[in-house]
Amino acid sequence: EAGVTQFPSHSVIEKGQTVTLRCDPISGHDNLYWYRRVMGKEIKFLLHFVKESKQDESGMPNNRFLAERTGGTYSTLKVQPAELEDSGVYFCASSQAPRGGGKNIQYFGAGTRLSVL
Amino acid sequence: AQKVTQAQTEISVVEKEDVTLDCVYETRDTTYYLFWYKQPPSGELVFLIRRNSFDEQNEISGRYSWNFQKSTSSFNFTITASQVVDSAVYFCALSEAMKTSYDKVIFGPGTSLSVIP
């Protein structure tokens, strides 16, 4: 079974440009999360989809970030326009919908390393 | 507020030594989950263990063992007879179970472990 896949693995762009990151969750996982780790800081939650709906987007830093999950399958995270402080590693995770309550484990991808110059 | 502290930023050990990675957490909830993830050089976050706050039994999986102590809010991770392949960044993490069933994960800053041959 394929794990969470993210594309690209590394993106280098100039300040002011637009970048779109993609995440393909594990097949059958309704929950999809975005996290990021900027230089020297901890891995921070950005947002959470349940199928195609945004369940929690409290971690999105500002309106330059737009996440979508059309059809409830893969998700994209667009940064427009990118700023220097957006550099970091962006992780995607997915989990199953719990049956009978309780949490399911979030499985993470390898991340996309974004460098804004 | 939730918080995870990993006081050890970097640890170096010689192969076959035992090593313990410390994790201290803060939460106001009585029901929560604790996790350990491993990030090898390839970049992905690999799930290692999840522990429910009501289950204080220590767990052993091969060379890995975890010591959960609610009295000290700690969830330490020990690798016995370390190997070079154990070299990675290890993250301790927390999520609260009383909110939605799909809550965000709060990560510690990570401990970088280097096992020297």
Q: Which residues of chain A neighbour B47 with C-beta distances below 8 Å?
A: 105-108
Q: Is the pLDDT of residue A10 over 70?
A: yes
Half-sphere exposure of B45 (CA within 13 A, CB side): 30
- Least confident range from B4-13, B19-28, B83-92, B98-107: namely B98-107
Q: What is the pLDDT of residues B39-93, one digit of tens each?
A: 998 888 999 998 888 888 888 889 999 999 999 999 999 999 999 999 999 999 9
Distance of alpha carbon B94 from the chain centroid: 9
The CA distances from residue A32 to A26, A60, B111, in Å, are 9, 14, 26
Confidence of residue A99 (pLDDT cuts 50, 70, 90): low
Q: Specify the range with the lowest mean pLDDT, choosing from A51-55, A76-80, B75-79, B107-111.
A: A51-55
Q: What is the pLDDT confidence band of residue B100, given thresholds at 50, 70 and 90?
A: low
Count residue pairs from A and B with Cβ separation < 8 A: 65
Contact between A112 and A61 (Cβ < 8 Å): no
Mean pLDDT of B28-48: 90
C-alpha pair distances (Å), A78 with each of A68, B36, B40, B45, B105: 8, 29, 27, 22, 22
Beta strands in chain A (DSSP E): 5-7, 10-13, 19-24, 31-38, 43-50, 53-56, 65-68, 75-79, 88-95, 107-108, 112-116
Q: Identify all chain B residues contacting A111, using CB atoms and an 8 Å cutoff.
A: 43-45
